[in-house]
Amino acid sequence: MQPALFRLGAIVATPDFLAAIPRPAMVQAIKRHATEPRPIRDGQPILSDYVYGNLGFTLRTDAERLHTSIRLVGEA
């Protein structure tokens, strides 16, 4: 497994996401989010969009790298 390219911080997910997406798909998305090569700018959040079945979801690591949130597309 590749090392993470940045710190994820605490990982949090919405209840709707946890109910809709199986844990293995969530873990795979987190690994890809942390290891996928991309331009990373200090002071900017890092976003990744994924699809499982017909459900889209987003991982967002905040600019300070303290939290990574996971939510379904359309959730506030």
Enter the pTM of the model.
0.92
Whether 5 is in a domain gets the answer no
Residue 47 lies in a domain: yes
Q: How far, in Å, CA of 11 to CA of 75, rounded? A: 17
Instruction: Return the pLDDT at 65.
Output: 96
Asked whether residue 22 is assigned to any structural domain, the reply reads yes
Q: pLDDT per residue over 2-39, tens digit each? A: 889 999 999 999 999 999 999 999 999 999 999 999 88
- For residue 20, the SS3 value is helix
Domain carrying residue 16: 10-72
Distance from chain centroid for Cα 28: 10
> Cα(15)–Cα(20) distance, rounded to whole angstroms?
9
Separation between Cα atoms, residue 16 and residue 45, nearest integer Å = 23
> What local confidence, expressed as pLDDT, does residue 76 receive?
76
Whether residue 39 lies inside any domain: the answer is: yes
How many independent structural domains does the chain possess?
Answer: 1
- Is 43 a domain residue? yes
4 within domain boundaries:
no
